[in-house]
């Protein structure tokens, strides 16, 4: 009986630490004025269940994984601030969205951005070169999850 009680209390403690850590990471993300490609890759890959959110993956690991899987735009640097066009490209590739004729033809960041505007994932007054803050990253990824039915 004691072993069962000890095991249950350890499992409960581990679960509560994971939730607290996720809340801390979301709070940290919301405080960011600019998000780098490495940070965006970590968040997008975790949202798509490519990286386990409780697995403690680093942003650098996520960036390299995204680079290996052709999820990042050409020339993206880990510490470079991500813009909406680059984030759109990452979301289209990560969530395997087919897109329209022009995106299918070119596979460009510009047409990825236009496709996410058309799908309603990017809303309001936005510019493809606008830098992404933590709030915008969270909103766009949550909309992508809703549209793809993964939420």
CA of residue 139 relative to chain centroid, distance: 10
What's the pLDDT at 148? 87
Other Cβ atoms less than 10 A from the Cβ of 97: the count is 18
- Half-sphere exposure of 67 toward its Cβ, with a 13 Å CA cutoff? 13
Verify that 73 and 143 share a domain, yes or no: yes
One domain for residues 19 and 37: no
Counting the structural domains of the chain, the total is: 2
The model's pTM:
0.81
* Domain region containing 25: 1-31
| Backbone torsions φ then ψ of 15, nearest 5 degrees | -65, -40
Q: Is the pLDDT of residue 61 over 70?
A: yes
Is the domain of 105 the same as that of 138?
yes
- Among 26-30, 39-43, 67-71, 83-87, which is the least confidently predicted range? 26-30
């Amino acid at each position: 009986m004691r072993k069962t009680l000890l095991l249950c209390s350890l499992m409960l403690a581990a679960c509560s630490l994971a939730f607290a850590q996720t809340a801390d990471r979301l709070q940290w993300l919301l405080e960011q004025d600019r998000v780098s490609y490495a940070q965006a890759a970590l968040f997008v890959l975790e949202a798509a269940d490519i990286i386990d959110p409780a697995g403690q993956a680093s942003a650098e690991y996520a960036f390299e994984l995204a680079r290996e899987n052709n999820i990042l735009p050409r020339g993206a640097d880990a510490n470079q601030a991500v813009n909406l066009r680059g984030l759109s490209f990452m979301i289209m590739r990560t969530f395997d969205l087919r897109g329209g004729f022009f995106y299918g033809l070119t596979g460009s960041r510009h047409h990825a951005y236009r496709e996410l505007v058309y799908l309603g994932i990017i809303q309001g007054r936005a510019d493809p070169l606008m830098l992404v803050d933590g709030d915008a990253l969270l909103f766009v990824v949550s909309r992508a999850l809703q549209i793809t039915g993964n939420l």
